[in-house]
Structure 1
C-alpha cells in the first residue's frame, strides 16, 4: 500500500484533493488557535 501511495504522490505532485484537505486543516487549526487566543485575552 505504501509503495502505491508513494508512486501516486510522485506522479501527481499536487492533487487537488490533497491541497484542499491541507488548506482545510490549516484553517481549522488557525480557527481553534484564534478562539483560544481571544478566550485568553477575554479572561485577562
Structure 2
C-alpha cells in the first residue's frame, strides 16, 4: 500500500512493485488487532 501511495504522490516513480505476505484480516478483526494497520495510513487522510 505504501508503494502505491508513494508512486501516486511522487512522479519520479515509473514502476511500483508492492510485495506483501499473505495476511488474513479476519483474524485481526476477530482479535481486535486491526488498529496498527489502519493507523499506518491515517496521515494520508488528515490535513
TM-score, normalization: structure 2? Answer: 0.25
More helix by share: 1
Higher relative contact order (CA 8 A, sep 6+): 2
TM-score, normalization: structure 1? Answer: 0.25
